[in-house]
Amino acid sequence: MNLPFSVALQEERNASAKSLLVTLQRLVESDLEPEVLRAREANVARIIRVLDLKVSDAIPGDLVEAFNSRSDLNEITSVAQTLERIERAGLPSWVWPRSLQTPTHNSRARVLIALVSEPDVCSEMLQCVAWLETRDEEIRRHVRGVPEPKDATGPWLERLQAAVEMRLRTAEVEARWLPRLEALRNRLSEEVLKELRANIGMSQAWVRIELAEAHSQRADALKSRLHAKAAEDLMSALATIPVEAEVILSDIERAVRSPLADLIPDLASLEKVRKLHSYPSLSIEEKTPSPALRVKVRDLRHPLSRKVGLTATTYAADLVWQPPVLGEPYGRVSLPVRVVLESPAPAQLEVGLQVELTGDLRDTPTAWLEAVSRQEFRIPQGAETHDLEVVIPILRSRVEQLSSARRSVSVKLHMSSPDLIWPFGHDGKELNWQELQLNQVPFESPFHDNIPVEVMESRPLGVEGCFQDLQREVQGGNRSFYICGPRRYGKTTLLKGLLERAQTFQDVVVLPLVVATEYPDIASIWKAVAEQISVRFNRPVKMELEDGILPTAEAFHQVREEAARKGEGKLPIRAIYIVIDEAQALFSLAAVRSGHSYLLGERLKARLEHSWGIAGEGRAAIKLGLVGQLHMRKLMGANLLASIPAAFEASSLKEEDLLPLLRSFAAGGLQSSSEARARLAALAGNLFILNRLLQAVQSICFGEKRTWFVEQDVDRAAEQIVRNYQEGAADVWTYVRDVLNESDNLNDWRPSETYPVALAWAKALSTGDESVRDRALSTLRQWAGDIEISPDRVDECVQILRDAQVLREDGTVQLPMLERFLQLRAARPQPLSEPREREALSRLGLPRIERPSEVPTEAAKIFEGSQARVYPATEGGREVAVRCVKLDNEKAHQRFQSEVRLLQRISSLSQQENHQVLRALPHMMRVGIDAQDSHLGVVVYEWIRGESLMPGSLSELAALKTGSCLVAVLRTLEKLQVVHRDIKPENVLVRVDDRKPVLIDFGLARAVAELQRGGPTFVGSPDFVPPEVVAGQNWTSRADLYSLGKTLKVCLAPSATASRLREFVEGMTAQRPETRPSLEQAAQFFLAEEGRAQEDARRSVMLREVQSLGASLLGKYQRLLERAQGDIWACRHGLIGRAESKLACIAEFLENIFEAYVSEQHPLLRNQFSGETVTLNVVGKYPHRAQLPDAVRPFVCVQAQAVGVLRNASAHGARFDEILRNAYRCLNRPSSFGMRGGDPALLRMAVEHVVGLLERALGVRGLQELLRFWLAPAPASA
């Protein structure tokens, strides 16, 4: 059949879209492959819709051919969908194929054809669309009209991204500078405004805008002193931002300060006002100097210097001609001159300078000299030298003559000031310059990302100066090494050079760098080391970490043996260097993992001295290369430092380091004075800042056509960087602040506590003469608001800043750029605006403390929530509870500080309360910020041996005792205006030693005044939160009383039917707070009911029952029973509610009975157990059963062993679950103890079995009944 898409067929039918559809429809009706044809009909219809064709429109022949060349139209349909997506994205026209960038008839059809026939183009455009669809609306808006970048190559996506980035930068620049330019609309001419708008993206335009702003500000200050016509002429003269604007303004300012200033308002001519400054009495302000204040000029000389060997010599600068500006007939040349005084200037000296040209330039017109060279300058107080720039006029033709003939430029200088003694008379002082160039040699920055080793050796900076010594040390292969230096101080370049040179070493291998900051934990770091060394020598590494921080002594044995083998004609390897960069992170991670600051250092020392570092016995030595920041030395510890004598350190740049670097800027170098280099070294805290300073200096020199710079130019460069920062360029600040960043990752700003201290210190230095420390402390407290700042912590931070060489011993700042930036930030309305900076300030309220180490056990009792974790530990031989709180934001810091302040207040007040209240509150031993992790708050409490209240366990008596004690605690909190906000059964522990309740977990406790200032109200456990708090009201002491009432209500046993108690508890949990009793009423109720219950009488009833059941026990056994009566009462009344806990109490009693029995009846048995105490656990697992006495032999069983293990559970509350699991394991049922606890019935059977054994051994009865009595709940009347 004929193809429906034949070009010839379409020409016969006018090639219309309708004809296509008609043909397709007929073919479908003829049942020729109907499904395929229907699909084609649908696709054609879609394509026609996408192309926006009417039924009468022609179908382009190219499109017909495209239809006809494919078995189906799925691909064309897909491209049609892509076309719709591309058009929605709004790609700029230059991204489209070149052939489609000119609109034509049926252009959408042509686009479709092009995309079908050029799938690569379609794919590239789709990449652009996909990228755009992930951008925000602002970027998509900029894309629509973005121009194509000039000379752009590469994929379309990269070109589009570059164009958009350029457009965004332009938009940012326009947002910054166009408003400032608009503010000058009435000050500048239309031509200048137009020119500046056109070049707004160029730095030259910014400089001119800044000049115009400065000129306008100075002109505004002068206008009121001028005649209206002179003022108008002044504004007109400044409208084009002329080069001579500075001269015009200076002339007028000097005239305004002159004795003839009264004449100025009457002078309508601006020129006449300007000429006043040339009146003789105006050149230097007349004054009568004191002879004692006059200082003699020693010399005028060339300021530039270089070192030849150890001797510094001065030399004349190379000069460069500056072309004329604004139609002047002459150009300019800048000359550096130094004024040297006999003694320091006693005050600021105002000096006039006149220039006389001699030699080949003697015929220079005086008017030119007056216009260009005459100047006044000031010598600062205390200065003995002062450098200045002298500008002379000179024609281009004269420069060509002097340059070609290599003739010198000669200048005579005359200085006048009533404060100076000029020793050179009327002849003045003549200076000569030999090198004069017509064109300036272009500068090239010597800073590059990849600096060759040879270049680094020729001009080392920072720690790079250690390269030769380091190379010799490593090539020797005898010692480990460490390198310390500030951030961005050449360590990376140094290591790259070492790795490159190490490839030539014959018997020493240096492994590739492992950068510690790139790994999340210490195990990952050692894993990376193991992979490198394993790949290098094709031998496995045993990666078992000792204490979780360091591979074992045998870890690298196979690798070391392989390295030491001689093979393939190569020398055996003597040493393998493992080099770890940013190694301070290695030690920090180890300290966090182990809880010991110097444990890794001690272990590494042992490895290097006794295993890894020892060559011999067929093994190569493992040596370490540790590279890090200055504080790494402290983290390493004194012992490891002493064991690594090869130390390479650099803490500051030196003036002599900069000479080789400056020589590489251009042919002839960038010339400078020694003072300028010293200033550069002092300002540059690291190599990045040095680079930026030199860029700014280079820009100054290039703009002023100079090949030299002096100290004032360095200060100008520094101020330019500061101005850029003030205008929003924050990149330099990210490098200046390095020394105050506690993050081991350079790109992550985590300010340490030293940052707010340094900020306040810089502010204090800039204001007043009082004690800097006191002013800084006052500023910190002002910034902190409610946060209490610890003076001791501030003093610690000041000492850290001194150790880091940020502060000198006299308290001044050693890094000038850092001080300048800190002063700017301190002057802002909110100096600590970023959350992490506020966090650093918050940490100044608490000391840094060592966190007790967590001893991993099989089932340690650990409590963990979303923000806090509590684990048991041992400190000073006693059990403690360590609460660790995540301080990952400012609010968390504030909450923790609030909690600590409350705990300190509660602790101080409870000391004054009765013993009952003191025992019912946790005892806080230490509190602070973790010494190893500044984002972890630590509170160390005494470990309370006990367990939480059990729901449905308390008898009436126990509930009354618990309520009475906790109400007394709430009354104490009420005196402090504090609410607990989280009273629930889990937060009430019952002590083992006296069975008294203790209220714990003050994590949600707050001062009432703090809650009244706002914040979230609904906190705590929902089942125990009172209704008014749920409704949004603040928490009060009556709300705490509600939570206590709910706790007692939940914990009351079903058998506790006392109506008065239940009625009062219902009142405590009333819906409306005003209907609840007060704390005083609650205290009176519990006290009265406790007395009415006649506890002592009831206890005596219980005692009689116990004595009756244990009547057959005599002597010491009877005394043991009397000691257990408190536990029996607590178990029966529900203060010990958990079944396993009750059985643990009984197991302890049975253990005591057994030990007393063995001691009395079989005293020699202890010798058989090597003097060890004969316990149920020891006997239960004794392997030689037949050697025991007949009466003791039955105790060799798993039940006795389990009971012997269980008896320790009460005494070691932190390990209760672990001990319980061991008891089940004794019964060969370890799986009985799981996530939900164990099966108490198994333990009870074991206890009953041991009770039976004891009855037979002692010859008594009644112990089984005593056991059942012990475990039975007390009746309601008892």
> How do residues 736-754 score in pLDDT, each as one tens digit?
888 898 887 767 888 999 9
The values of phi and psi at residue 260, to 5°, are: -95, 15
More confident residue, 767 or 1104: 767
The pLDDT value recorded for residue 450 is 77
User: In whole angstroms, what separates CA 1251 from the centre of its chain?
Assistant: 62
Asked whether the predicted pLDDT for residue 1237 surpasses 60, the reply is no
Q: Which two tokens stand for residue 1210?
A: 């009460």
- Cβ-based burial of 186 (10 A; exposed 0-12, middle 13-18, buried ≥19): exposed
pLDDT band at 471 (very low <50, low <70, confident <90, very high): very high
Summary count for the chain: helices (H), strands (E): 54, 33
Name the band, by pLDDT with cuts 50, 70 and 90, for residue 938: very high
- Which residues pair with residue 314 across a beta bridge? 305
Nearest to 851 by CA among 596, 1125, 520, 559: 596
- Quick one: which of 256, 215, 260 has its CA closest to 234? 215
Question: Above 80 in pLDDT, residue 585?
Answer: yes
- Is it the case that residue 600 has pLDDT exceeding 90? yes
| Cβ(978)–Cβ(1009) below 8 Å | no
Span 1025-1035, average pLDDT: 86
Task: State the pLDDT confidence band at 15, using cuts at 50, 70 and 90.
Answer: very low
Asked which of 3-17, 191-205, 239-253 is least confident by mean pLDDT, the reply is 3-17
Q: What does the pLDDT read at residue 4?
A: 43
- Identify the CA nearest to 517 among candidates 505, 508, 528: 528
Q: State the DSSP H helix or E strand holding residue 925, giving kind and residue range, or none if neither.
A: strand 924-930
pLDDT beyond 80 at 475: yes
Look up residue 648 and give its amino acid.
F
On whether the CB atoms of residues 1093 and 956 are closer than 8 A, the answer is yes
Distance (Å, rounded) from C-alpha 580 to C-alpha 600?
Answer: 14
Helix, strand, or coil (residue 939): strand
Residues forming a β-bridge with 338? 301, 387
Q: Which of 107-116, 219-228, 741-750 has the highest mean predicted lDDT (pLDDT)? A: 219-228
Indicate the pLDDT class of residue 7, thresholds 50, 70 and 90.
very low
3-state class (DSSP) for residue 810: coil
Considering only the top CATH level, what class is 863-1095?
Answer: mainly alpha
Across 277-383, the runs of DSSP E, i.e. the strands, are 295-301, 305-308, 311-314, 319-322, 331-341, 349-358, 375-379
Please enumerate in sequence order all residues whose Cβ is within 8 A of that of 423, keeping only pairs 6 or more positions apart, or say none.
Answer: 296, 297, 298
In sequence order, what are the residues at sequence separation of 6 or more whose Cβ sits closer than 8 angstroms to the Cβ of residue 996?
Answer: 916, 919, 920, 961, 965, 990
Of 1042, 385, 961, nearest to 710 (Cα)?
Answer: 385
Chain-centre distance for alpha carbon 1108: 70
Residues 685, 191: Cα–Cα separation, whole Å: 44
List, in order, residues 6 or more apart from 393 with CB less than 8 Å away: 330, 331, 332, 364, 365, 368, 369, 371, 372, 373
The long-range contacts involving 70-73, CB below 8 angstroms and separated by at least 24 positions, are 72/36, 72/39, 72/40, 72/43, 73/39, 73/40, 73/43, 73/44, 73/47
Sorting pLDDT into bands at 50, 70 and 90, what band is 76? low
Percent of the chain with pLDDT over 90: 26
Whole-number Å distance between alpha carbons of 243 and 981: 73
Query: Where does the pLDDT of residue 131 fall: very low under 50, low under 70, confident under 90, or very high at 90 and above?
Result: confident
Closest CA to 695 of 720, 672, 712, 676: 720
Please return the burial class of 371, using the count of CB atoms within 10 Å of its CB with bins 0-12, 13-18 and 19+. Answer: middle
Q: Which of 111-120, 204-213, 439-448, 807-816 has the largest mean confidence?
A: 807-816
Q: Which residue has the higher pLDDT, 1214 or 1274?
A: 1274
Over range 530-557, report the average pLDDT. Answer: 90
Alpha-carbon span 111 to 1164, nearest angstrom: 106
Residue 1235 has pLDDT above 60, yes or no: no
pLDDT band at 10 (very low <50, low <70, confident <90, very high): very low
Structure tokens at 466: 């250690």
Any idea what the Cα angle at residue 405 is, between residues 401 and 408, rounded to 5°? 85
- Residues 427, 356 contacting (CB under 8 angstroms): no
More confident call, 1100 vs 155: 155
Span 1124-1128, average pLDDT: 86
Range 431-434 contact pairs with CB under 8 angstroms and sequence separation of 24 or more:
431/300, 431/301, 431/302, 431/316, 431/335, 431/337, 432/316, 432/408, 433/316, 433/317, 433/319, 433/335, 433/408, 433/409, 434/316, 434/406, 434/408, 434/409
Architecture of domain 462-631: 3-Layer(aba) Sandwich (3.40)
pLDDT at residue 527, rounded to an integer:
94
Q: How far is Cα 1000 from Cα 946, in angstroms, rounded to an integer?
A: 12
From residue 648, how far is each of 467, 479, 633, 772, 1189 by CA, in Å?
9, 13, 11, 35, 73
Distance CA 884, CA 888 (A): 12
- List the CATH code of the domain at 295-439: 2.60.40
Distance, in Å, from the CA atom of 592 to the CA atom of 760, rounded to the nearest integer, reads 30
Q: What is the dihedral of CA 574, 579, 584, 588, to 10 degrees?
A: -80
Euclidean distance between CA atoms 1251 and 1264, whole angstroms: 6
What pLDDT band is residue 513 in, cutting at 50, 70 and 90?
very high
CB of 566 closer than 8 Å to CB of 628 = no
Greater confidence (527 vs 360) lies with 527
Lowest-pLDDT range, 1-15, 18-32, 108-122, 292-306?
1-15
Torsion of CA 516, 522, 524, 530, to 10 degrees: 90
DSSP 146: P
Q: How far is CA 738 from CA 111, 188, 601, 602, in A?
A: 54, 43, 25, 29
- In this structure, how many other beta carbons lie within 10 angstroms of the beta carbon of residue 35? 8
Mean pLDDT value of segment 764-774: 81
Do 143 and 90 form a contact (C-beta atoms < 8 A)? yes
Residue 725 pLDDT greater than 50, yes or no = yes
State phi, psi for 420 to the nearest 5 degrees: -110, 150
Q: Which two tokens stand for residue 910?
A: 């409870």
Structure pTM?
A: 0.60
414-428 burial by CB neighbour count: b if 16+ within 10 A, else e? Answer: bbebbbbeeeeeeeb
Pairwise CA distance, residues 545 & 427, whole Å: 83
| Chain segment 264-319, per-residue pLDDT in tens | 888 888 888 887 755 544 343 444 445 556 899 999 999 998 766 556 678 888 89
pLDDT of residue 220: 86
Residue 28 has pLDDT above 80, yes or no: no
| pLDDT tier at 254, thresholds 50, 70, 90 | confident
Nearest to 1050 by CA among 1001, 985, 986: 985
Q: In the sheet where 946-948 sits, what is the strand order? A: 946-948, 988-991, 997-999
Rounded mean pLDDT of 829-852? 84
pLDDT at 277: 58
Residue range 930-956: mean pLDDT, rounded: 87
Q: Tell me the sheet residues that pair with 394.
A: 331
Strand partners, 948: 989
